[in-house]
Chain A
C-alpha cells in the first residue's frame, strides 16, 4: 500500500522575496507533509478497512478459534483442542463431500472456461453488436435460486418439459437431478449456463487489450484463424485467463444455492457439496465447532489451489510488449 508517493522532495519557494527567510527543507519537513497525506489516506481507506476488519478478518479469526471448540451458538464455546479436526479426518461424509465438490468444480470450470473462451473469441472476431453481448450476459442477471428452480422444473423426471420432450422423441426420461450419476454434472451445467456469459465478458475485455495489428500482421503472413488463436490470442490472453480461472475456481468451490434449491444434497448425499455439508452441520445440527473446522479446511484447500494456479499460469506477468 503506497501512500502519498507523489510528493516532490523539495519545492521552490512561492516568491523570490521570501527566499532569504526560507530554511533549507529537511527530511523532517517532508515526513510531516507526507504524514498529512497519510492521514487523509487513512480516512479514505478507513471505511474499507473497517469493513475488512469487521466482516473478514474478525470472522476468519473467530472461525479458526471456533474450529477448536464445541459450540452450539447459544451456550459458551468449550475448548476441545484438535477434536474437530480428528473427527473431520475420520468422517467419510466429509471426504465424500470434498470429492463431490471437486467433481463439480472440474466439470463446472472445465466446460465453462472452454465455452466462455469460445464465446469471447466469437464476440471479438465476428461481431461488434452490443446487443449480442447483452444477450450473452442475460442468464447472469438472474438470481442463482431462480435459475436453479427454473431448471429444476424443466428437468423434473416425471413432469419437466425437458423430459416430456425427451420422452416424445422416443428416448428414456433422464433423472437429471435425481440420480447419483447425473445430479452433479447437471448442477455444474446449470451454473455454467448462468455464469458463462459473465466469464465470456471478462475474457472479451482481455481480448480487447490485444493489439489488432498483430492479427493484421499474421493475416498478411497467411495465418489461419485457428493458428492465430493458438499463437496470438491464447498467449496474450494468459494473464487475464489466469485471473478469471482463479476467481471462478474459488466461486465454484463455494457452490451452495443451486444445490440447496434443486437437490438439497441428495439423492443419498450424491450432491452433498462441502458448503452444503458445512451449512447443514452448523445451522441444522448446531455443530458450529465442527462446521468451523471444515470451513478452515476449505480455506486451506482454496488457498493452496490459488497459489498453485497463480504460479503455474504466471498470472502476474504478461507476454505483451
Chain B
C-alpha cells in the first residue's frame, strides 16, 4: 500500500509538473537562432509579406521567417499577453497608438543601428518612431491618409460632379459648400432632399455622410481633418507633447459643428452606429449613406462593394485655406525579449528596404513607406482600375495640404479611455462641448505624472 501511495503521489506530481513545463515550452517554441517570428494584423497584407519573406530567406540562407496574422483586437491582447508571458514575437507590426505605451513599458528594442534615414521615406514617417529617450524603436513600413469615399450614382443623381466634390470647402459657422453638399445628398423617406423645404430629419432614408462614431480621442476618420484644417493640433508639440488641447475653443467649435450634422439629419445619430455591426463603410455598402470619410486601408473594401461604384474625393478646404488629413504610418518593431535579435533586426532592415516595399506595393493593398514602394502601389491600384490620387495628393502637395500624425504621447490608452465616452456623450447625449475642458484636464493630469 505504501509503495502504491508513493507511486500515486509521484504520478500526480509528475502530471502537475508536465502541465507546467508544457506551458513553458509552448512559449519557447518557434523562437530559435534561425527563425524570426513576425506578427501582423491585416489579412489583406499577408500574401505581400509572405512574398517579402521569401526574398529575405533567399538573401539570408539559414534564416526563416514565420509570419502569424491575427485580427486587430486579438492582436494587441495577444501581444500584451506575450510580453508578460515571454511568448512575444521577435518582430511585430506596431501602431503609433500603442507605441508610446510600449516604449514606456520598455518592451521594445532600440533600432538605432539600422541606419534608418528620414529622407528615405515619405516625409515625417521615420521621425515618428523615435521615443522620448531619443532612440529609434520602429522602422517605417507604410502610411495611410483619409479621403471622402462617395457613391457615384448618388452624387450623379444629385447633380454633383467629381470636380465639385473635389473643391468643397467648410467652416464651423455654416459648414460651407461641404455641408450644403451633404445636405443635398441626404434624402428623407418622402424623397425630399436635406436642403429642400419640408425635409423630415427624423425619417432619413439616405444620409449625406456616414457615421464612424465619436472618434475616440483621435477622430482619424471622423472630425480630425476638420479640426486640423481649422488649425488645431492634438498636443502642444508634434511629438511627445505634454498637454492635450481638447479644451481649445477652435477644437470645440469644430466638434460642435461636426456632431451638429447628426442633429440636422445629414449624418446618422450615434445610435445608428456600431463598431461591430455598422461602421461607415457598411452604411455606404448598404446604401444608407452617400459618402464616408475613411482611410486608405479601406480602399479595397470600398472597391469591392457589389453593385456600388465608389469613388473618392479630397478632404475639404478648411478655414486655414488648407485641406488636412491624418497621415498615419505603421512600423516594424523588435521586442526587447526577442531571443533572436540579430535575425530580427536583419528582417526589420529588409522590411524597411526599397526591395521589400516595392514587392509589397506591387500587391496594391497598402502604401509602403518608401517613395518607390508608394509608386509601385499606385501603379498596382491603377491596374485594378482604382484611382488613389485622393490619398497620395496630400502627401505630395504640401502647399495645399496639411498632414498630421496620430497623437504621439505617453498614456495614449488612458487618453482614449477618457475621450471615448466624452465624445460619445456629446454626439449621442447632446452634452455641451465645453465638457471637454474637464476631460482635457483629467488627461493632462495623467500625462503630467
Using a CB–CB distance below 8 Å, which chain A residues touch chain B?
36, 39-40, 43, 46-47, 50, 72-75, 149, 152-153, 156-160, 175, 177-180, 261-262, 264-269, 272, 280, 283-286
Contacts and interface: CB of A to CB of B under 8 A. Distances in A.
Contact of B274 (A72, A178, A265): A178
A159 B70 CA distance: 27
Contact of A262 (B15, B276, B425): B276
A285 B446 CA distance: 12
B413 A284 contact: yes
Interface string B16-41: 10000000000000000000000000
A272 B418 CA distance: 12
Contact of A156 (B270, B278, B420): B278
Given A153-B277, A178-B273, A180-B428, 13 more contacts: A39-B5, A47-B16, A149-B276, A156-B277, A158-B278, A159-B288, A178-B272, A266-B420, A266-B421, A268-B422, A268-B429, A272-B421, A280-B417
B270 A178 contact: yes
Interface stretch (B101-109, B173-181, B229-237): B101-109
A84 B117 CA distance: 44
Interface of B: 1, 5, 8-9, 12, 15-16, 77, 80, 83-84, 101, 105-107, 268-278, 282-283, 286, 288, 413-414, 417, 420-422, 424-425, 428-429
A260 to B, nearest CB: 9
A43 B275 contact: no
Contact of A159 (B12, B277, B420): B277
20 contacts: A47-B15, A47-B16, A73-B84, A74-B107, A152-B276, A157-B271, A158-B288, A159-B286, A177-B274, A178-B271, A178-B273, A179-B428, A261-B276, A267-B271, A268-B422, A269-B424, A283-B80, A285-B413, A285-B414, A286-B105
A81 to B, nearest CB: 17
A283 B79 CA distance: 11
A242 B9 CA distance: 39
Contacts of A266: 275, 420-421, 424
B274 A74 contact: no
Contacts of B84: 73-74
The 10 closest A-B pairs by CB, nearest first: A175-B271, A268-B424, A178-B271, A269-B421, A268-B425, A156-B277, A268-B421, A285-B413, A157-B272, A267-B428
A47 B275 CA distance: 44
A86 to B, nearest CB: 15
